[in-house]
Amino acid sequence: MTIIVFGGDGFCGWPTSLHLSNDGHDVVIADNLSRRRWDVELGVASLTPIATVEERLAAWEGVSGRCIEFAEVDMLDADSVAELIDRHRPDAVVHYAEQSSAPYSMIDREHAVFTQTNNVVGTLNLLFVLAEVAPTCHLVKLGTIGEYGTPNIDIEEGFIEVEHNGRRDVLPFPKQPGSFYHLSKVHDSHNLAFGARVYNLPVTDLNQGVVYGNATRETALDPRLVNRFDYDAIFGTVLNRFCVEAVAGHALTVYGNGGQTRGFINIRDTIRCVQLAIDHPAEQGDFRVFNQFTEQHSVIGLARLVQRAAASLGLETRIEHVDNPRVEAETHYYRASNESLLALGLEPHRLTETEIRSLLCSALEWRDRIAPDTLVPRVTWRRPAQRLAAT
């Protein structure tokens, strides 16, 4: 198959691209490299040193003998997206090319508007290009499990049967997202559900949990293939951040009481899920939703796991509860379904102490690159930073 990975230079997109290439597909990475620019804007960096795109692709060709093409494309430029799709006529496109940080979206008005415009318009552009140029191409879109929020009922995969006043219907699962970023994904989901229906397109929406880990079989083949490892308070996901805090001799900073429970997934399962979705495509006109996570954890539970694994490596850490910069429930019911991808054959990597030790060892390898001040939350949910002139 020919597959274009939009956002193929990012944390999930890069290992996905390598995995699909390794699987024998002709892979094209389309990326505007904005993720690297946000590092510069925020003064943060991946714990692991990241090669340039050119170095990455040359290294991949060296170790695999396979070529991945790169196109510098901004999805806000619909003509460029159309030209790319028209030239390659892909069988599938994977769409990761969105601003993916909740704190980034909550910095201030500009960042909220940028996040929603970038994500929603980019996805709309892709939707229209597929409708016009490649209507049989399978769109595999990354959403987030955070779209659902934390309802007091079981979370189903995209839809729920509701009985009300003696009547029944299967309806979109109600969404209660917790940031302007999560909201952008909810907007995407609504747009895609509609677009798949009216334009008769095959669409899979992968509502992904919090990703941890960074290395995959393919990224481990050469130092220039190494994947991002974000640990800062803006882009770092919680387990990666805890591992770096443990290695840096920093307290494990738990927001509030830490009862916040979410779905989690190993990066090695992320790439496998996308492969499974591609291998078992949606039907024309079908908007299907898979919840893409493998296990549930509370934040405090993860902190304790990391503390135990760190101790086994001789790293003494303490857990510190800090004021929660987010507006979110800290004690709540949480149970989400993830049956679809398991039914397609996903065999989850479990979050064992061994797995966490392996993450800690990755962090230890690069401990000299840790910038402790980037671990401290700088963004609060409760008020936007004041940038507008109020005289």
| Contacting residues toward a copy of itself, per CB under 8 A | 78-79, 82-83, 86, 108-109, 112-113, 116-117, 120-121, 124-125, 128-129, 131-133, 151-154, 160, 162-165, 167-169, 171-180, 183, 186-187, 190-191, 193-194, 197-199, 327, 333, 381-384, 386, 388-391
Rounded CA-CA distance 13/31 in Å is 9
- When the beta carbons of 55 and 156 are compared against a copy of itself, the nearer one is 156
Find the shortest distance in angstroms from Cβ 233 to a copy of itself. Answer: 18
Find the shortest distance in angstroms from Cβ 159 to a copy of itself. Answer: 9
- When the beta carbons of 177 and 263 are compared against a copy of itself, the nearer one is 177
Place of tokens 């671990």: 375
- Which neighbouring-strand residues pair with 27? 3
Name the catalytic one among 123, 144, 150, 204. Answer: 144
- When the beta carbons of 55 and 74 are compared against a copy of itself, the nearer one is 74
- When the beta carbons of 76 and 251 are compared against a copy of itself, the nearer one is 76
Judge whether 181 counts as a catalytic residue.
yes
Find the shortest distance in angstroms from Cβ 181 to a copy of itself. Answer: 11
Find the shortest distance in angstroms from Cβ 147 to a copy of itself. Answer: 10
Judge whether 185 counts as a catalytic residue.
yes
Find the shortest distance in angstroms from Cβ 332 to a copy of itself. Answer: 10
- When the beta carbons of 28 and 360 are compared against a copy of itself, the nearer one is 28
Find the shortest distance in angstroms from Cβ 324 to a copy of itself. Answer: 12
Rounded CA-CA distance 174/334 in Å is 15
Radius of gyration in angstroms for the set of CA atoms belonging to the chain, rounded to a whole number: 20
Name the catalytic one among 181, 212, 255, 334. Answer: 181
- When the beta carbons of 13 and 177 are compared against a copy of itself, the nearer one is 177
Q: How far is CA 163 from CA 166, 169, 171, in A?
A: 6, 7, 10
Catalytic (active-site) positions: 144, 181, 185
